[in-house]
Structure 1
Amino acid sequence: MLSPATTRASTRTVSHLVLAGYNPLAPPGRSAAAAPSSGRQAVSNPTPAQVPLSTWLASVGRESDVERGYRIKHVAGGAGHQLVSYRNYEGFDRIFALGRNEAGQLGVGFASQEGTRALVEGFEGDQILAVKAGVQSSYILVRDGGARASSSSELARSATRLYSMGNLARGRLGHATMTSSFNESESAAGQEPRLHLVPRATAVALPPEIGPIKQIEAGFEHVLLLTESGDVYGTGCNTDGQIGLGDASGDICGFTKIALPSEVMQEGGVARISAGADTSALVTESGRVWTWGNSEYAQALHGRKIDQILRPLAIDHSFVPPNRRLVDYRCGGSFALALDDRGSVYTAGFGALGLGASVLRSPRPRRVDALEGQGIERIRAGWGYAAAIRGEFSAIFTWGLNSTHGRLGLGTLASSRRSFDSTKPPALNMHVHVPEEVALPLRELGLDGTVAGRESVRWRLGEVELAMEGLWVGIEAEEDVD
């Protein structure tokens, strides 16, 4: 489905959304992959396939957005659920939620044991800055009235606001005044928290001193915020010290400021943050990385196993060549990725390292040689798998633990590149040890230069999101308008 949004008089931008892996809204009972030309939606998509977002939007009453155009802004993938934010033809931002909703994590006002799709209401006129998803939880960061601002100065004065929804347990939603039904006696007995649901997107009462929010990142059951002033706050599960408060005290219910070492400010302050399964990190403006939380697989890049790192701790940067600096860092589950300003990717930990079949564990950071010279500009670390994104001549490379639905997008569930036969279950060789390029469905989208009249269409990769069960990719195409 095309979704044009005019950018200037002579061109228009068309948004596409493609998926590799599990399709949460495939028709019931459709267990095999559909042939690309059939137009049918399949449960399994081991080769990336176009998501019928326009059809889904029309099914929830947004026919006008489909007819007159929209542009995808953000994609967030959690444990079986997704949020997609888009800007419509009028310049208003909207959020479409789909997938699992057993804890109300879609924010549509109810919980359901069946796959659900719906618009998340209540944000008319607000600018969506970010959407994030964790385990049974979702987060929406908005700028109040941003879509109605008449000038850049008015936009700058607009306040940011955070909303969350889903399972309140462990404090992951940040609602300090709400408590789950989990009590200390149950905790001592080792029981899991019982569900206490917030099924509608609900504003989080943040500390008054927190100020405008620059970035939000969600782990399994903890969340980090970075403010415009450079402060970092956390809430949620802290059993491995992933909130960074100096202890592993259990659950933190409400966003709490993390005391950053003075060296962080000396290095220019915090540029960005990352939250993995139960590990956290920050990158300073000067390219230094600090990590904390669980590092039982050495995934915090300190060169050795450390069960719990209770406060932000600077990593040893000796693995980075002279005259280079790190520009991004991503916490995965049992591994992490770092990217330098020359496009080299580094990794440490266990599992999705991309270093070959003989290297599944590396306590010290090592360069991913298979990506050298590829012009990598972005990295992503998911729950057991990873991706690197090339800028010029756009491409995505994935590696790590595949799934029974082919979430790596390499055409099969095996590390070999055999073609996928939709009439037979694919072979199960679950781990891809070296980065391989994902074959994007450019021909199906009319972007490979072979469609008459569309030879000059220019395209680029937009959002790339590694959800637990699938790889979601936004593709933006720009074409001339007669």
Structure 2
Amino acid sequence: MKHQIARRSLHAAISKPKTSLYGWGQAQALPLKLKDPSAALCQPQRLNDHPDYDLQAQEEITHVAAGWGHSLLGTNANRVYGFGLNRSGQLGSSQGFFTLETSTRLELLGCGREHSHVVVKCANNGTQLFSFGSAMYGQLGLGQCKKTDPGHMVCQETPQQVTGIDDGNIIALACGLDNTVIATDKGAIYAMGWGADGQLGLGTSSDANIPTRQGTPLGSNVKKLAGSTDFTLALTEDGRLWTWGNSEYGQGMTGAKVDRILEPVRLETNGYLDVAAGGPFSVVLTDDGKVHTCGYGALGLGKDMIETLKPTQVPGLSDITRVYATTDFAAAISCKKGGIFHSLCS
């Protein structure tokens, strides 16, 4: 089967855009027009300058999300643009973009391996979740999975509304490979999708094909959820950090290698400002502006240290304000120093 690939770019039709978009990595998942779609960008490149598709006048990029082979961009015109692979419908439209209802406002985007989510705020200040892409493990939360429809590729090619998130409005969302975790403003955590490594935090290793509420209260509203593969991190408003899912490389930061952590475990240390979940590693930002990494891989600790079971400070980084990670890459940004971008590698 040939993968369907959508290509668009973000060239403003009339006014010069106030926001600039940069990208690197797998070119087919970026808004680029290259002769070789299998090529990769090894350095950040400004993407606004590729006129394959025009944004509307005054349309600005407000949200971005990246999956394994696709990415989504949201704008202030209530449009969501998709780029890259679309084998399972993870772009939400064969045309490369779709427009949200005028009575709603885009709040959050999320991308997994082959699934995507859009959270919107409604006129009554409530939130709604829409899902599209692969539903093989139930990660869309629509009641579908490969067990309910055996022998078929279970997917949704257009956004479908998800029901069952009843306790509060959605304030955070994270996608793993084939799972999704959602937090509400009433302290509830819902999860769906693949659960073999405990990444749903539901106390079992079973999958879930509808939003299923965790039984472990975190004690405070979630500030950020982080996930990219098969484990999840939750940072709460009081600076506490919770972890669950795969920790076979110690990425759960509990100080030990554990095959699976089936429900949320709170780490003893407080004072975290930001967190990111890589493949087999974690990245945390503490309230003193320092970055610590744990697990295996892109730790930024030098070529002689590619594994650690305890969060270890990355040398040479200070005044950091945000951290990011994906399967085998991590980064830190310092806005206090003119927006310096630091790449972490093993």
> What TM-score do the two structures reach when normalised by structure 1?
0.65
What is residue 232 of structure 1 aligned with on the other side? 189
CA distance in 2, matches of 1:97, 1:54: 15
Shift of 1:288: 1.5
Contact 1:302 1:315 in 2 (8 A): yes
Matched with 1:103 is 88
In the alignment, the residues of structure 2 paired with residue 311 and residue 95 of structure 1 have an alpha-carbon distance, to the nearest angstrom, of: 34
1:84 aligned partner = 73
Aligned to 2:36: 30
Distance (whole Å) between structure 2 residues aligned to residue 359 and residue 17 of structure 1: 33
Aligned to 1:17: 21
Report the Cα distance in structure 1 between the residues aligned to 2:49 and 2:99, rounded to whole angstroms.
Answer: 18
Higher RCO (CA 8 Å, separation ≥ 6 residues): 1
Distance 2:252 2:105 in 1: 34
Aligned-residue RMSD, C-alpha: 2.4
Residue in structure 2 matching 1:396, options 338, 341, 345: 341
The 1:2–1:269 alpha-carbon spacing in structure 2 relative to 1, beyond 3 Å, is: closer
Q: Given residue 202 of structure 1, which amino acid in structure 2 is its aligned partner?
A: Q
Q: How big is the shift at 1:377?
A: 0.1
Match of 2:63 in 1: 74
- Secondary structure of the 2:52 match is helix
Residues 54, 85 of structure 1: alpha-carbon distance in 2 compared, 3 angstrom cutoff: farther
SS of 1:293's equivalent in the other structure is strand
Question: For 1:270-292, what per-residue CA distance to the aligned partner results, in whole angstroms no more than 9, with x for missing partners?
Answer: 33322231111212222121111
What do the CA deviations read for 1:345-375 (whole angstroms, capped 9, x no partner)?
Answer: 111100011000000010111111121x3x2
The 1:270/1:118 distance shift into structure 2, 3 A limit, reads closer
C-alpha distance in structure 2 between counterparts of 1:97 and 1:225, whole Å: 22
1:143 maps to which of 116, 121, 138: 121
Which residues of 2 match residues 242-391 of structure 1 at below 5 A?
242-249=199-206, 251-261=207-217, 264-265=218-219, 268-317=220-269, 325-371=271-317, 373=318, 375-391=319-335
What is the distance in 2 between the residues matched to 1:140 and 1:281?
Answer: 20
In structure 1, runs of 5+ residues without a counterpart are: 7-11, 32-41, 111-116, 146-156, 187-192, 401-432, 434-482
Matched residues in 2 for 1:200 and 1:107: separation? Answer: 5
Please give the alpha-carbon distance, in whole angstroms, between the structure 1 residues aligned to 2:267 and 2:197.
18
Q: What is the alpha-carbon distance in structure 1 between the residues aligned to residue 296 and residue 141 of structure 2?
A: 30
What does 1:463-482 correspond to in 2, within 5 Å? none
Q: Is the 8 A contact 1:289 1:315 kept in 2?
A: yes
1:26: how far off? Answer: 4.6
Q: Which has the larger radius of gyration?
A: 1
Partner residue, 1:411: none
CA contact (8 A) 2:11 2:49 kept: no
Structure 2 counterpart of 1:49, from 45, 69, 86: 45
Partner of 2:176: 219
User: Is the 1:182–1:194 contact (alpha carbons within 8 Å) kept by the matching residues of 2?
Assistant: no
Q: Of the candidates 132, 154, 168, which is equivalent to residue 165 of structure 1? A: 132
8 Å CA contact 1:137, 1:164 repeated in 2:
yes
Asked whether the equivalents of residues 17 and 53 of structure 1 are also in contact (C-alpha less than 8 Å), the reply is no
The reply on whether 1:198 has 2:156 as its aligned counterpart is yes
Deviations 1:121-154 (Å, cap 9, x if unpaired)? 3433421001110011011000124xxxxxxxxx
Tell me the distance in 2 between the aligned counterparts of 1:30 and 1:13. 28
Identity of aligned pairs, percent? 28
CA shift, 1:16, in A, is 1.6
Contact 1:120 1:201 (8 Å CA) reproduced: no
Are the aligned partners of 2:273 and 2:285 in contact in 1 as well (CA < 8 Å)? yes
SS in structure 1 opposite 2:96?
strand
1:127 aligns with 2:105: yes
Change (3 A) 1:17 1:28: closer
Shift of 1:72: 1.1
Mapped contact 2:184–2:221 kept (Cα < 8 A):
no
- Whose helix proportion is higher, 1 or 2? 1
Indicate if the aligned counterparts of 1:19 and 1:51 stay in contact, CA closer than 8 A.
Answer: yes
Tell me the distance in 2 between the aligned counterparts of 1:381 and 1:316: 23
* Counterpart residue type for residue 247 of structure 1: T
Tell me how far apart the structure 1 counterparts of residues 237 and 99 of structure 2 sit (CA, whole Å). Answer: 36
Local SS of the residue matching 1:195: coil
**Are the counterparts in 2 of residues 3 and 16 from structure 1 also a CA contact under 8 Å?**
no
Distance of aligned partners of 1:257 and 1:381 in 2 relative to their CA distance in 1, 3 Å threshold = same
- What is the one-letter code of the residue matched to 1:119? F
Distance 1:20 1:73 in 2: 19
- Change beyond 3 A, Cα 1:55–1:2: closer
Distance 1:315 1:159 in 2: 32
Give the 3 Å change call, closer, same or farther, for CA 245–100 of structure 1 in structure 2.
Answer: same
2:198 aligned residue: 241
**What displacement does 1:5 show?**
10
Between 121-130 and 385-394, report the one with greater CA deviation. 121-130
